[in-house]
Amino acid sequence: MRFQDITVKYMWVLLVWICCDACGQTGKENVMKYNPLTDAEERVILRKGTEAPFIGEYTENKAKGTYVCRQCNAPLYRSEDKFNSRCGWPSFDDEIANAVIRLSDADGRRTEIICANCRGHLGHVFIGEGFTDKQTRHCVNSISMVFVPADEPLKETIKIVPPVEKAYFASGCFWGTEYYFSKLKGVEETSVGYMGGYVDNPTYEQVCGKNTGHLETVEIVYNPQVISYDELVKFFFETHDFTQTDGQGPDLGPQYLSAIFYNTPQEKKIAEENIKTLQTMGYEVATKLKPVNHFWKAEDYHQQYYDHKGTLPYCHSYRKIF
């Protein structure tokens, strides 16, 4: 091989290596990520902590400009909506349109506010306190925001599709199970179908024949930044009779049994811990734990059944337990 040929060959190899390296050497699409966070920022933004009062860098800030999300650069509040509430945190009586999502805290006592783009924790909102004519106070952690002065350009908002995970629950007639889960904040999508059996692509009639091994199951696509798997498991137990061993309500048969299909050992552990809690309360839990296998989606007329019918489930209801 001539020297010139060797040179060209290795120049080509070097060019390919450089291109691969620029793409992360994986061949995968280069995905834009959120801004990196310090440990203190993660504690508040990701783990819903609270910054100590009167120490935030923006509590007393009176400059003109825009407050953006520290994690994703999304504009959240304008300086003209900021006021001094003397509460120890930056306060605003209005937000930029569609920038903030309100969620009820788990205890139902307060209303959390999160960034609508990245779901990062901002603080809480309070109504009717009389500070301004708008009767609204967004109490926001300084550490959740970055202030951009009016004479500086805003950075481009980092938009990433919210992460979603799937969970699978069987609690009797899948119409009722789906109805209640579909109403939860953080649940992006629900589908009803069949899981746990040994017949491929079963029909509703086959499953009702009680010889396919399948349970009527609901697939739940949820955003773990909004609702946790533990919260889903607790809600599962609170919306059906998990002590019934032969079905659910008037629906009897193996296809109506109570079961949690877990994707990971961590999900199994969470389910087991909740079952132990129920047992300490005196409940005899009939719910079975099974590893996830193929989910066969049910016929179209079963999907979102009660929403289309306009009635309420006959064999499911909600009761607070945990």
Distance between CA atoms of residues 142 and 56, nearest Å: 5
23 is catalytic: no
Query: Helix, strand, or coil here: 171?
Result: strand
Among 23, 173, 208, 315, the active-site one is 173
> Quick one: 189 exposed, middle or buried, by C-beta within 10 A (0-12, 13-18, 19+)?
exposed
315 is catalytic: no
Residues counted in the chain: 322
What six digits make up the tokens of 3? Answer: 């020297």
What six digits make up the tokens of 142? Answer: 């300084």
Among 19, 139, 208, 315, the active-site one is 139
Distance between CA atoms of residues 41 and 195, nearest Å: 41
286 contact partners, CB below 8 Å, separation of at least 6: 242, 243, 244, 245, 257, 258
Q: 264-301 b/e with 16+ CB inside 10 Å = b?
A: eeebbebbeebbeebeeeeeebebeebebeebbebeee
> Quick one: 91 exposed, middle or buried, by C-beta within 10 A (0-12, 13-18, 19+)?
buried
Is residue 136 within 8 A of residue 150, CB to CB? The reply is no
* Single-letter code of the amino acid located at 183: K
* Single-letter code of the amino acid located at 234: K
292 to 130, 178, 187, 196, 245: CA distances (angstroms):
52, 18, 19, 8, 21
Active site residues: 139, 173
